[in-house]
Structure 1
Amino acid sequence: MSILVPRKKEDMKPEDMKPEEGEGSSDEKKTPIVEEIMIPSVSMLCSVGVQFCPSTGGIGTIKFDNKTLKFYLPVITLNVNSEVVMRNLVAYEASTTCESLVFARYTELMNGIIDTDEDAKLLREKKIIINSLKSDADVAELFNGMSKAVRLTKVPYIDKAIEDVNIYFNNALKIRMYRRMKNFVFGSWQILTIIAVILLMFLMAIQSFCSVYSCPRIFHTMSSSTSG
């Protein structure tokens, strides 16, 4: 299946987030802010052994196999018209269904795992993205620029894949070692600071001593006494 995706949250203008005319200004009527899916990027997942594989089918084939460490994603074809098409699909889905916004959730997933052109490149090399745009950077910009869903939504099989891959990533030995080292360094910064101050004061004391008493002459005298 070829899927033909709105703007980064930091690129959105204030007027883009204003309620439409006729809507109330109360908090209850405001659209909830949907945060980016918390999931590592493609390159980060690859660094801990996750393999990305194209699935034969649509969005419903998305899954993470925690035994083989394979993350299955549907094939998507991107061209110059893809951004408009995907924006329209997200809007159409939101206006015609009261159930889960499946396509919107898919775009949020792709937004979450593609942070840089390197992430886009890895998915292109795995034949998950068929890129007819100018570069991998354009693919990253496209997905990172997708607007969030107009309302909070949950899609069980997509959310299950996200949960499973996060559990694996967080438990990966490489990540645990990095976090332990990070916690040790940040937890010990006060002790390391005290040691550095003591060492600096000691060196300053030696410098002051040698500025009054000629250290080379003292060491030469000590050396002569020892040899004699």
Structure 2
Amino acid sequence: MEKHKHRALLHFLKRSGKPIEDYVNALAEVVDDLNDAYDQLDSKWRLGTEEFLKLMILDGCFILEIMRTCAPVFNDYDPNDPIFSDHGRLYIVPYLKRDMLKLENQLPLLVLEKLVEREDGIVIRLILNFFDQKRVGNMGKCLHILDVYRKSLLEEPDKNVDHKVHQGEDEIIRSATELNEAGIQIQKSETKSLKDISFHRGVLKLPPIMVDDTTESIYLNLIAFERLHVNAGNEVTSYIFFMDNIIDSAGDVSLLHSSGIIQHAIGSDKAVAELFNSLSKDVTLDPENRLAKVHNSVSYYCKKPWNAWRADIMHNYFRNPWSILSVIAAIFLFALTTIQTVYSVLSYANSSSK
């Protein structure tokens, strides 16, 4: 992409009508902040040199031009351009989107804001539009594109269910199929926010999610971001942990799909199950996280005597068609026997009265 980056820079400068030196001077004012944004940065970049600032500008302009290509604005690139055209939007941009969400590819958001020369949130809106994400409330200070994308997934739900804390519960929640057998209804949440997970009166609500070829890369980078940033929070990590617990097999994915929670385009329900199981490797749930309380409430509900008995009946007698037929046949035979017994008693009573 290096040659395309330089082409994007030329288009950006031509459109702005300013020389690159103006942007170098603008970034020079915050060069210390830009240096501090990187860990283990090579010493040659920490001198605040013009070369470092021009590298920031080159990458920043390329990102802005890519996002601008997907926005409903005038496109001054050639229709046959391999990147900044309808062809590039269809065949190249999906891969660039994935790469732009990799933790190692992040550029300080400050660079983009300086290049746009506006601090009214236009860069954040551009990022959210580019990734087809809904803007949430006040995001506060964002570090980079991955941080903006993550916060867009964590909209606060309108209604918070108060979950009571129950001591001594199992740490592993049951699968979606087993929860269904225990009488728990699984429904789609009203929003797509990963925070919009609740359990109330036997109803577990989960946000809908689209699983495709980019899902694994996106969530691995979000998990890595939360693990490496102390004050970032762990909402995405907790969500993946929770989903892994309720997804053990293709049957669980099928149940969640029928409930409108999981839509996927990666081949099979089994592949989706394997994806969530691999994402949660070496992941733990923070006991102070809100999802831990939901987890606790679901476990407590499943251990109630009636729900446990119901789950046992469903698991042992209604797991496959043959078991169901056997139960129906037994009930039918019992009914016939009862009718025959009643008929015999009535016949005997009639004969005795006569």
Structure 2 length-normalised TM:
0.38
Q: Which residue of 1 aligns with 2:172?
A: 38
Aligned with 1:60 (options 188, 195, 216): 195
Q: Deviations along 1:140-175, whole A, 9 cap, x unmatched?
A: 000111234667624532111111110010114252
Query: Secondary structure of 1:115's match?
Result: coil
Q: CA deviation at 1:90?
A: 0.5
User: Which runs of 5 or more residues in structure 2 are unaligned?
Assistant: 1-131, 134-169, 313-354
Aligned letter for 1:53? Answer: Q
Extract structure 1 runs of 4+ deviating beyond 3 A: 147-152, 176-179
- Shift of the alpha carbon at 1:94? 1.6
Matching residue of 1:83:
216
Paired letter, 1:55: S
Question: Which amino acid in 1 is paired with 2:286?
Answer: T
In structure 2, the partner of 1:140 is: 273
Stretches of structure 1 lacking an aligned partner (at least 5 in a row): 3-35, 180-228
Partner residue, 2:25: none
Q: TM-score, normalised by structure 1?
A: 0.57
Q: After superposition, give the CA deviation of every residue in 1:53-75 in whole Å (9 maximum; x if it has no partner).
A: 1112212211101x2x1101111
Q: Quote the Cα distance in structure 2 between the aligned partners of 1:56 and 1:119.
A: 21
Alpha-carbon distance between aligned partners in 2 of 1:106 and 1:90, rounded to the nearest angstrom: 10
**Please, which moves more after superposition, 152-161 or 81-90?**
152-161
Distance in 2, Cα, partners of 1:78 & 1:178:
29
Secondary structure of the 1:98 match is coil
Aligned to 2:248: 115
Residue type of the alignment partner of 1:166: S
Q: Write out per-residue CA displacement over residues 163-215 of structure 1, whole angstroms, 9 at most, x where no aligned residue.
A: 11100101142525888xxxxxxxxxxxxxxxxxxxxxxxxxxxxxxxxxxxx
Deviation at 1:97, TM superposition (A): 3.5
What amino acid sits opposite 1:107 in the alignment?
I
Report the CA distance shift for 1:51/1:151 in structure 2 as closer, same or farther (over 3 A): closer
User: How many angstroms does 1:80 deviate by?
Assistant: 1.1
Q: 1:155 to 1:76 in 2, by over 3 A?
A: farther
2:297 to 158, 164, 172: 164
Counterpart in the other structure of 2:29: none
Deviations 1:34-92 (A, max 9, x none): xx951000000001111111112212211101x2x110111111001111111111001
Moved more, 151-160 or 102-111: 151-160
Matched with 1:101 is 234
Change (3 A) 1:53 1:173: same
What do residues 105-161 of structure 1 show as CA deviations (whole Å, max 9, x unaligned)?
A: 110000100000000010011111111110111110001112346676245321111
**Would the alpha carbon gap of residues 164 and 97 (structure 1) be closer, same or farther in structure 2, given more than 3 Å must change?**
same
The verdict on how the C-alpha distance between 1:145 and 1:172 changes in structure 2, with shifts beyond 3 A counting, is farther
Distance 1:74 1:149, change over 3 A: farther
Inter-CA distance 133–172: structure 2 relative to 1 (3 Å threshold): farther
With over 3 angstroms needed to count, the CA separation of the structure-2 counterparts of 1:151 and 1:81, relative to structure 1, is same
Residues 120, 177 of structure 1: CA spacing in aligned structure 2 closer, same or farther, 3 A cutoff? closer
| 2:255 aligned partner, one-letter code | L
Pairing 1:73–2:73 present = no
CA distance in 2, matches of 1:41, 1:177: 15
- Cα separation, 1, equivalents of 2:284 and 2:301: 28
Q: How has the CA–CA distance of structure 1 residues 87 and 108 changed in structure 2, closer, same or farther, with 3 Å as cutoff?
A: same
| Partner in structure 1 of residue 182 of structure 2 | 48
CA contact 2:241–2:284 (8 Å) conserved in 1: no
Q: Distance in 2 between matches of 1:63 and 1:111?
A: 16
C-alpha separation in 1, matches of 2:267 and 2:179: 25
One-letter amino acid of the structure 1 residue matched with residue 180 of structure 2: C
Mapped partners of 2:246, 2:283: distance in 1: 20
Work out the CA distance in 1 between the residues paired with 2:287 and 2:233: 6
